Amino acid sequence: MKLYFKSTLKVLTVGIVITSFSCNNKTEKKEEVKENQIVKAKIGSFGDQGDGTYINPILNADYPDSDIEQVGDTYYMITSKQHMSPGMPILESKDMVNWTNVGHVFNSLSWAPEYNWDRMNGYSFGTWAGDLAYHEGTWYCYQIDYQHGLMVATAKDIKGPWSKPVMMLPKAEVLDDPAVFWDEETHKAYAIINTAGKQKTVSNTIEGNENRIYEMSWDGTKILGAGKLVYTGMGAEAAKIYKIDGSWFIFLAQWTMGDTSTKPGVKNPKNDRKQIVLRSKESIYGPYEVKTVLEKGTAFNDRSASQGALMQAPDKSWWYMHQLIQNDSIPFQGRPQCLEPVNWVDGWPIIGIDEDNDGIGEPVRQHKKPIDGYPISAPSSDDDFSSSKLGFQWEWNHNPRNTHWSLTERPGWLRLKASKILPNEKGYGPNINEWTNNDGSDSDFWRASNTLSQRIMGITTGTAVTKFDISGMKPHQLAGFVRYGGVFNLLGIEVDENGKKYLFYMDPMAQKTKGPEITGSDLYVRTSNNSNQATYEYSLDGKTYNSFGPTFTIAFGKWTGDRLGFFSWNEKEDAGYIDVDWFTYNYDGPKAAKSL
């Protein structure tokens, strides 16, 4: 990893107002605002507070397994997103606190058929924790698909285009979480990989995952020879390699088992996933000393904290970005990102604040920002579908059927055409595996192509509103709004065999509640959550809303936090479509200023 610095041009922090703006359609939006009117940035219960401080998690949404590379005055982050397509989101920031989404590494999960719309049985797999690197003018993204092996994609520009992935090692040899390092002094390149028990011999009696270092070709695309074992530990993975002041450091996440009756990662408050650091003053291969540098603290006493990336600010201060783990209480927003100060004590990085004076850091809740002067920002959310390309906030549930969606057939609208539902047979839809919510896994929703969604933000409150045109729907079609992560809840329209349209709500077990007949073309849907309790409302004019369906619980599952989006499928044939005019989302967190 290289750290590059240059002088940065600061900009004035945007003022904050606690007001919001929403309206019913594009024409009304233009009429209701004056030219160049500014909707100012807002704050909330997390992220940039507008006063020089931030509240963790700074990215309080499902952005897990981060890695960060700094080039110049900009920090670039990748995070995993399993079976979602496009895969491996890319975000950027100038101050480590305010992040915006700028693309994806993988336009589609092109390397395996199970991720396609006509199979949809890649749930929980796809893109896992990766490593982002920049070397000699080329960007690299490494990741391991548990089903297929180690791969790398490259690009000259972080925003793409990225190459198709090149396979470097088979799944028989590796499990997950690669990281790489170019040593300019020796002109050698390395990769460290969790090989778990796949290469373990009887001579290694230490319980847990083996982590091996491999030499790589200088161009970063080939593994040279067999790897060398450097560390074994319970659930040890998510390595990152750094060389600082002549010493080698390997950061690893590792479980501390307070109760051996459950596996690593299974909900159990006695078990803690901690961040450890290996240090060697001799060689990348060791020998290594080991120290725990971050553990669960009072700020997030129900969730472990580990797995992330080290950063440095222009003032030479050190910082660490990490996720909150899913081992105890599992918040429905997924695995968010926290930012911690790093202090070096006796040559060791202590992450966060050592609140109990035991030499191990714990996460902070609120802290001074690393870099001042940049405006409040956040990943995109609202959309009026006026662009010819989808915004980076949107991802499909598996690779989409590209012939069955469009932003150009009706400019200013998103059109979702209905495909026939996939068969309820082996080889289609979710498989049963660890961290999959099994209830309702054989329901039609999980085998419906072209479901489009984005992450929810925060764990307090949020409200999303959208407008549909349902005039293009056909018999046996179901379409509308979905919230889903580990479970799904739908509110939409079902068309019967005679062409009549009825409102319906569907619960996670696919039980439908039939509503009134809808005879007009417009349907507005509003969904709100208070913590993990959510509701649906509908309107025919965008003004008067009526509740429909029960209060329901949103949940983490299939390695995914709750999401907001749209669905459309047909039980009998490829027929019908639904048009989406706009989507707005107000939540208890930061939103960037914008001109209207």
What digits encode the pLDDT tens for the residues 190-249?
999 999 999 999 999 999 999 999 999 999 999 999 999 999 999 999 999 999 999 999
Q: What is the DSSP letter of 507?
A: -
pLDDT tens, residue order, the chain (596 aa): 444 333 332 233 333 333 333 334 454 443 333 344 567 889 999 999 999 999 999 999 999 999 999 999 999 999 999 999 999 999 999 999 999 999 999 999 999 999 999 999 999 899 999 999 999 999 999 999 999 999 999 999 999 999 999 999 999 999 999 999 999 999 999 999 999 999 999 999 999 999 999 999 999 999 999 999 999 999 999 999 999 999 999 999 999 999 989 888 788 888 999 999 999 999 999 999 999 999 999 999 989 999 999 999 999 999 999 999 988 877 899 999 999 999 999 999 999 999 999 999 999 999 999 999 999 999 999 999 999 999 999 999 999 999 999 999 999 999 999 999 999 999 999 876 544 455 678 899 999 999 999 999 999 999 999 999 999 999 999 999 999 998 999 999 999 999 999 999 999 999 999 999 999 999 999 999 999 999 999 999 999 999 999 999 999 888 899 999 999 999 999 999 999 999 999 999 999 887 55
78 φ/ψ sector (left φ>0, alpha ψ -120 to 50, else beta): beta
In this structure, the strands spanning 563-570 and 419-420 are parallel
Q: 32 by DSSP, 3-state: which?
A: helix
Distances (CA, A) of 40 to 35, 211, 220: 15, 48, 44
Residue 580: CA count within 13 A, CB half-sphere:
30
Q: Tell me the C-alpha distance between 299 and 303, whole Å.
A: 9
Q: What is the DSSP letter of 566?
A: E
Q: Tell me the C-alpha distance between 254 and 291, whole Å.
A: 11
Q: Tell me the C-alpha distance between 367 and 364, whole Å.
A: 7
Q: Which amino acid does the sequence have at 431? A: N
Distances (CA, A) of 51 to 179, 273, 363, 373: 36, 32, 20, 10
Sign of CA dihedral 283, 284, 290, 295: positive
pTM, rounded to two decimals: 0.93
Q: What percent of the chain has pLDDT over 90?
A: 85
What digits encode the pLDDT tens for the residues 521-560?
999 999 999 999 999 999 999 999 999 999 999 998 888 9
Residue carrying the six token digits 């579908």 = 385
Q: Tell me the C-alpha distance between 399 and 452, whole Å.
A: 10
Q: Tell me the C-alpha distance between 348 and 290, whole Å.
A: 10
Give all domains of the chain, ordered by start, each with its CATH number.
26-80+128-368 (2.115.10.20), 395-595 (2.60.120.200)
In this structure, the strands spanning 546-547 and 533-539 are antiparallel
What digits encode the pLDDT tens for the residues 583-594?
999 999 999 887
Phi first, then psi, for residue 458 (nearest 5°) are 85, 175
- Spatial CB neighbours of 61, under 8 Å, sequence gap ≥ 6: 333, 334, 336, 379, 455, 456, 457, 458, 561
